[in-house]
Each structure stands twice: as structure tokens, then as C-alpha cells.
Amino acid sequence: MKISHALFALLLLPMSIQTNAQTARQFAEMWDKQHVSRILPSQVRHRDLQKYLEELKSISLKVEEVGRSNASREIYQVEWGRGAVKIFMWSQMHGDEPTATSALVDMLMFLQKNRDKTWVRELENSLTIRAVPMLNPDGAELYQRRNLQFIDINRDARALETPEGSLLKKLRDQWQPDLGFNLHNQNSLTTVGKTNKQATISLLAVSGDPSGKSNAGHLRSRRLCAVMVSALENFIKGNIGRYDDSYNPRAFGDMISAWGTPVILVETGALHNRDEMFLVKLNFVAYLSALKSLVDKSEQKVDPNLYDALPFNDTGNLYNTIFRRAKILNYAESIEPFTADVAINAERRRASETAPTFVQDIGDLGIYTGLDEYDTSDFYLIPKNGLLKIGTSGEFLFYKKTRKIDWKTKDLEKTFPPDAIFRQGRWEKGARALPKTK
Ligand SMILES: [Zn+2]
């Protein structure tokens, strides 16, 4: 009897994993075919969100203005479903963290348009979802983390001095949701543990207890995170991290959990050579996977260890670009030319803007990885203004070592045209001059 039970479980296990994988891929296909977010999330302004919300309203979704920002921009809440389980989702509390705003619009549009599907109808009858996309519209307009008072809204859960933070607390307190999704973006160079793999998505089942003690809500959040991990592994296996879970009494994730609504934090990073829309799709797949598993109760059979075992986020292992074994020529100082690796990073900007780059490190950087790397061993690297320093602009001229150059020449770039020029994070000249090794 025991043996046949075990055998049965063995037979059942791969099948249920297969079903989950299939569902996640189906969600991705549905997003491909049906998503309505047309602009890259970093390009979405408050007025673009308003256009999206008009579309949601036009198909009978409940959209209402629930508050105003410092600059009197409208903050909206969208409601879908008529079930007993209350799900609260908010995005872009940090103005320059836009991915989830587009993903929420896509998800709500999809749910409303697909109510003829049995599983969507089950969601509609079991859940009520309230979503606040773009909680910080002033920050979003300026593409800055903080609001117009330059307060980090996510550090205002206790003081409640920001209109946006107070609103978030009011919406939670009045409605008392059963589960919250706190939706953010993290630095694109965040890695999965001490690896050189970007953390494309990081998750945190917030405990909401200073001592990190678990309760039923927290356990369910861990299982829902495990559901999202298994869905996301179909697309970004190895690129999923666990967000640092140290308790912060000023942060909304911790406080909303402490006030009685267990919170799941979703932090979207990046994946090299994939654009922002891919990240929107991943978010869409993750939310729907979690919500569906909550309704069909499949989450109750999921092993939370799939989430617990994720490596924690780490930083400092990865750079945007590394130039390997360059001969550095600091012509502005009487320093002998020397050989070194040079690492530069780009700042966060909207997709349409040029991201400034800055020198991060110089020397033997053999233990680090660049998203892009170049073999510079046949070249002189000439820094802007003739001195390579940490924190200076990542603008370089490259000259083949075999060339005879008078480095003291006044207008070096004009008199001796370089073989390659790297400026503002891209090759302005000689894109193929240096061998690309990564
Ligand atoms: Zn954030």
C-alpha cells in the first residue's frame, strides 16, 4: 500500500509541474497577443496612464480618483472582481520604477476581457482586486525615486508626511485587504547571490514582525512566492533572487504587513539585451500565476522552500562595461602608462534618454564581470581630460598601441583621430575596433 502511494505521488509530481509550466507559458503567450501597454514603461507619463485608464473604463472597469499628489496629479484606484478575498496591489511608489504600472494595466485589461474563460470567471467570483498604479505621479513625471517633497515615500510609513504615503495607508485601513503586492524596480546590476547573474526578478514574502517571526499569512506569501518562482523559471531560470528581508519600521511593506495585510514585494531588475516590455510580461505572468493558484488552491500544495532556497540579492559583482587590460595613458599627469581593467556603470534613465556613465573601478578586476566586456590589450585608453579617476565620466579615446602619437598635442582627437571613441555608454566610432569578449 505504502509503495503504491509513493509510486502514485511520483507519477503525479512531474505532471503537476508540467501543468504549471504550461500555464506560465500560456500566460506569456496571452500577454504577447493581448497586451495593451504600447509604450516602454520608462516612457509612460501620468497623461499616458490616464489614457490607459480611460481604456479600462471604456470596458466597464471601475476606475476612481482616490487622492492627489503634491503637484495635484490624480492618483487612481482600479477595481476588478466581486469575490470575498481582497487583493491590494500598488506600483511606482518610487517614480523611476515603472515596470509594474504597465503590467497592472495589462493584467486588469486582460482579466476584464477574458471573463468568458472559466478560470478568469473563478477569479472574478473569488477575488476583489484593487490596484493603485503609479502611486507617485510627481516622481514618475520627473523620473526620480522620491516625491516632490524629496521624501522617499517608502520611508514614510510611520511619519505619514507625504500625501501619497498617507493615501496608501488610508486605502489599506479602510478596506483591510487580505493580501498586498508592493511593486518596485531594483538596480539592473543587482545579482543573484555572489554570481554574475542579474536578478531579473527578486521576491520577498514580508514577515511584518521585527523578530522575523512567521504566521499563517506569511506562510501563504512564501508559497505564493514559490508559485511565482516556478512560473518565472520558464523564462529566467537562474535570474531570480530573494530580496533582503531585514525589518524596516519606516517601510510600507513591513508596516502594511504589521497592520494586518501580509505583503509580497516584487522587485524587477533587468536582463541584458532584453527590453522593458519583456519585464512587463514577466510581471504579468507572475501576478496571474499567484492569483490563479490562490483561487484554485494549488498554492496550498506548493513547497515554500522553492522560494526560501533562492539566493539573496547581492551587489558589487557586476558592472555595465569592463575594458580589459587597457594601457592607460594619463597625459594630464606625469604618470607612466600602466595596464589595468576599467569598469564603468550607467545611471538609471528613461529609455529615450542617454544614461551618463561613470568610472567605478580601475585595476585588476578579474573577479568581476561586465555585462559587456572588451579586450583592450592592443590599445591605449585615453580618458576624457587626460586623467582616469573614480567617478569621472566614462568617455574614452582608443588608439592602437602601434601608432605614433604625440600625446601632448593640444587638440588630440582632431590632430590624431582615434581608432575608436566610447562616449555616453556607446561607441561613437570604431564599434568593432576592440574585440568584444562578452
Ligand atoms: Zn522601489
- The 10s digit of each residue's pLDDT in 249-290 is 999 999 999 999 999 999 999 999 999 999 999 999 999 999
The predicted structure's pLDDT at residue 211:
85
* C-alpha of residue 244 to centroid of ligand 1, in Å: 13
For residue 406, name the pLDDT band (cuts at 50, 70, 90).
very high
414 Cα to the center of ligand 1, angstroms? 44
Query: Could you tell me the three cell numbers for 80?
Result: 476588478
Residue 322 alpha carbon to ligand 1 centre in Å: 27
* Neighbouring residues of 188: CB distance < 8 A, sequence distance ≥ 6: 198, 269, 270, 348
Ligand 1 midpoint to CA 415 (Å): 47
pLDDT band at 5 (very low <50, low <70, confident <90, very high): low
Query: Span 38-43, mean pLDDT?
Result: 97
Contact assessment for residue 255 and residue 249, using Cβ atoms and an 8 Å cutoff: yes
**pLDDT value at position 209?**
85
Tens of pLDDT, residue by residue over 309-346, are: 999 999 999 999 999 999 999 998 889 999 999 999 99
- Cβ contacts of residue 88 below 8 Å, gap of 6+? 130, 131, 171, 172, 175, 177, 179, 180, 181, 261
Residue 430 has what pLDDT? 97
Q: Ligand 1: distance of its center to the CA of 49 in Å?
A: 19
Question: Ligand 1 centre and the CA of 368: distance in Å?
Answer: 26
Q: Compute, in angstroms, the gap from residue 408 CA to the centroid of ligand 1.
A: 47
Q: Quick one: DSSP state of residue 312?
A: B
Residue 134 pLDDT grade (very low, low, confident, very high; cuts 50, 70, 90): very high
Distance 19 CA to ligand 1 centre (A): 33
pLDDT value at residue 119 = 96
Q: Do residues 149 and 139 make contact, with C-beta atoms less than 8 angstroms apart?
A: no
User: Nearest-CA neighbor of 437 among 359, 379, 372, 378?
Assistant: 372
Q: Residue 25: exposed, middle, or buried by beta-carbon count in 10 A (0-12, 13-18, 19+)?
A: middle
Quote the mean pLDDT of the chain. Answer: 94
Ligand 1 centroid to Cα of residue 116, in Å, is: 36
Q: Please name each of the domains of the chain with its CATH number.
A: 17-314 (3.40.630.10), 318-429 (2.30.40.10)
Q: What does each C-alpha distance from 186 to 97, 191, 265, 355 come to in angstroms? A: 8, 10, 11, 16
| Cα 342 to ligand 1 centre (Å) | 29
How far does residue 163's CA lie from ligand 1's centre (Å)?
17
Distance 247 CA to ligand 1 centre (A): 15
The pair phi, psi for residue 359, each rounded to 5°, is -70, 125
* CA distances for 356 relative to 15, 363, 393, 395, 423, angstroms: 49, 22, 7, 10, 9
d(CA 216, ligand 1 centre) in Å: 26
**Per-residue model confidence as pLDDT tens digits over 392-404:** 999 999 999 999 9
Average pLDDT over residues 398-414: 94
- Going from the Cα of 182 to the center of ligand 1, the distance in angstroms, rounded, reads 9
Q: How far is the CA of 186 from the centre of ligand 1 (A)?
A: 6
Query: What dihedral angle (degrees, nearest 10) is formed by the CA atoms of 214, 218, 222, 227?
Result: 160
Measure 93 CA to ligand 1 centroid, in angstroms: 7
pLDDT at 438 over 70: yes
From the CA of 402, how far away is ligand 1's center (Å)? Answer: 49
Weakest mean pLDDT among 20-29, 63-72, 394-403: 20-29
Ligand 1 centroid–CA 58 distance in Å is 31
> What pLDDT does 1 receive?
44
